[in-house]
Structure 1
Amino acid sequence: MRRPPLASRYALTAAACMVTHNLVMIAGDAAGIVMPVAVLLSFCLCVLLGFFLHSRYTFAVAGDARSLLRYTVAMAANVPLTIVLLWLFLVSLHLPMAAASPAATLVLLVVNFFASRWAILGGRRQGRPA
């Protein structure tokens, strides 16, 4: 059976991470968790989920400790960017978290593709069996 194109595989993995992130952010807001703590909680969950799915499914490589470290560092750039974007949407534009979190997530989507690809593949070619 032929594998779906890279863009489709990335979109499915990104969607799983986006849903996880937004659920954590919205539930955290509803539970009264301060936004930076919710961002960090989401970061931890999404790094593990994203690395596993991107390694095995999106890029079809065996993930190792080095690529996990690169992926964690690459995704760590999302933490301050997410906080700034959420502040912009929540404070400046007065959007509710249910709108602000998905908006911030969409802004980071393209950046995350390139960061994920660099982190997981490193110098390897895509498509090496996992």
Structure 2
Amino acid sequence: MTRTPIRYLTIGAGCAVLNNAILIGADFSGLHYTAATALTFVTTVPLAYAAHALWTFNARLSWRGLARFVAGSLSSLMAAGLTIAALCGGLALPMVLAAPLATAVMVLYNFFMARWAVTPTRCPEG
């Protein structure tokens, strides 16, 4: 179980690099940032799901797991926006502090979301 967070962070870092490469490449090619964000989502999320299922959590791939992962990833986008809004707007923190705090919160949120999405639920025995 101690390897799981390390594996999660490894996959997460790889996805972050891929995400940034797509965003930067799309920007250089003139693609609008909303379209670039959609492109990163449809590219990175399925790859992240497969990597987390197979390597991080040692689970089988399934359409249900992918659907849960996509839903969790969409909720993560909303949670990140709300976190930044709360830190910047509500607490009036400068972005230089809010962004790292939001990132730390989102790493934890995304870890538990990914584990929920990828790990099959089991009925209790008894």
The percentage of aligned residue pairs carrying the same residue is: 25
Offset of residue 27 of structure 1: 1.4
Could you say which residue in structure 1 is the equivalent of 2:74? 76
Q: CA deviation at 1:82?
A: 6.2
**How many residues align structurally?**
110
* Equivalences for residues 1-130 of structure 1 within 5 A: 5-80=3-78, 106=103, 108-124=106-122
Match of 1:97 in 2: none
Distance 1:30 1:78, change over 3 A: farther
Q: Secondary structure at the match of 1:77?
A: helix
Q: Which amino acid aligns with 1:75?
A: S
Q: Contact between 2:76 and 2:109, CA under 8 Å: does it hold in 1?
A: no
Would you say the 8 A contact 2:52–2:118 is kept in 1? yes
**Closer/same/farther in 2, CA of residues 44 and 54 from structure 1, 3 Å limit:** same
Supply the RMSD in Å over aligned alpha carbons: 3.0
TM-score by length of 2: 0.71
Q: Classify 1:34/1:83 alpha carbon distance in 2 versus 1 (closer, same or farther; 3 Å).
A: farther
In 2, Cα distance between the equivalents of 1:6 and 1:76?
23
Larger mean CA deviation between 8-17 and 23-32 belongs to 23-32
Structure 1 unmatched ranges of 5 or more: 95-101, 125-130
Which residue number corresponds to residue 91 of structure 2?
Answer: none
Does the CA contact (< 8 Å) of 1:40 and 1:79 recur in 2?
A: no
- TM-score, length basis structure 1: 0.69
Unaligned stretches of 5+ residues in structure 2: 89-93
Worse overlay, 75-84 or 48-57: 75-84
